[in-house]
Amino acid sequence: MPDAFGAPLYGPVYAGIGVPATFNAVAITVIDDTRPVTNPAGSGEVRSVGPGAFARIPELAANGIARDAYIDATLIFNGRTWTVRSYELRGNPNGEDAGEVRFLLKAADVG
Amino acid sequence: MADTREDILARLHAILATIPNIRSAQRNNGDITEDQLPAAVLFDGDEDTDDASDFSMRPPHRPTMVSMTPEIVLAQQSNEAGSDLTTLRRELLKRVLTDTALNETIVKTGRNGNGAIRYLGCQTDFGDGRSLTGSLLARFMFKYTLKPDDL
């Protein structure tokens, strides 16, 4: 199957809405995917922010970043510094290694 | 006119504001944002009597015993939300169970009357935000004398 997602799809999307980032001091491009989250608090709720970012796995691999380096990595983009606490793989028809990863982030100053 | 239930809740709300490091002490507001944390929220809760089985000739306006069960939520967001909540819980229990106004003047526990304050237990919730978000719901039981003639 030809690469229908790498250059034809991800390329223009990341060129358009991607932002420069550093992943353990390595320059990559990510898409900021910070979302609101609501956590239960007994009888109430706490509204917070769930920071996340998409990155292309082929770009990470090309920079020597393997999957076992994801957790606890330092990711800096859009003026904030985060720690990767977990991640989700978003494979595509060319396989998970050709897809994206969504980093789930934590630990930056509130506000 | 005296409403012991409201007096208990108002005093509880005031006690919450004295817990060290609490940024926001609220009553019945279940919609907290992260910049209000650490927060302490008092929910009025329910109350019950044992009068459902009382078929005596006692006039309905005579005093009766009421058990009310307010809930207090402590919420915090940090990398150490669990240990922070443990500290807040300790300060909460200490203040509620030893508060002189609550024990001696409002609820009238011990030699002051036949009221009682009991700590029933707590439940915790944890979730992920930009850092770990945790909450602790502490439940208390207040037994007091309801005097309809005084309302």
Contact at CB, B129 and A42, closer than 8 angstroms: no
Tell me A93's DSSP state. Answer: T
- Residue A62 forms contact with B (CB below 8 Å): no
Among B75, B130, B131, the residue with its CB nearest the CB of A41 is B75
The mean predicted confidence, pLDDT, of chain B is 92
Q: Do B75 and A107 touch (CB under 8 A)?
A: no
Q: Does B121 touch chain A (CB under 8 A)?
A: no
Quote the number of domains for chain B: 1
Q: Does residue B57 sit within a domain?
A: no
Classify residue B138: in a domain, yes or no. Answer: yes
Query: Are B130 and A39 in contact (CB < 8 Å)?
Result: no
Is B51 inside any structural domain? Answer: no
CATH number, domain containing residue B79: 3.30.70.1700
**Contacts with B32 from chain A: Cβ below 8 Å:** 41, 44-47
Residue B108 falls within a domain, yes or no? yes
Q: Which domain holds residue B14?
A: 4-44+65-145
Residue B150 banded pLDDT, cuts 50, 70, 90: confident
Within a domain: B49 = no
CB contact under 8 A, B128 and A110: no
ipTM summary value = 0.78
> Which residue of B28, B122, B123, B128 is the best one to mutate when testing the A interface, meaning the one whose CB has the most A CBs within 10 A?
B128
CB atoms A110 and B137 under 8 Å: no
CA–CA gap between residue B94 and residue A97 (Å, rounded): 55
Q: How far is A50 from chain B (nearest CA, A)?
A: 5
Please give the full DSSP string across A27-88, using - where no structure is assigned. EEEEEE--EEEEEEETTEEEEEEE-EEEEEHHHHHHTT--GGG-TT-EEEETTEEEEEEEEE
DSSP per-residue codes, chain B: ---HHHHHHHHHHHHHTTSTT--EEEES--EEEGGG-SEEEEEEEEEEESGGG--SS--TTS-EEEEEEEEEEEEEESTTHHHHHHHHHHHHHHHHHH-HIIIIIIS-BGGG-SBEEEEEEEEEEEEESSSEEEEEEEEEEEEEEE-GGG-
Q: Dump pLDDT digits (tens) for B18-33.
A: 999 999 999 999 899 9
Is residue B137 situated within a structural domain? Answer: yes
**Would the CB atoms of B125 and A41 count as touching at under 8 Å?**
yes
- Per-residue pLDDT at A111 exceeds 50: no
pTM of the model: 0.86
pLDDT by residue (tens digit) across A34-85? Answer: 999 998 888 889 999 999 999 999 999 999 999 999 999 999 999 999 999 9
Kindly tell me if the per-residue pLDDT of B106 is higher than 90. Answer: no
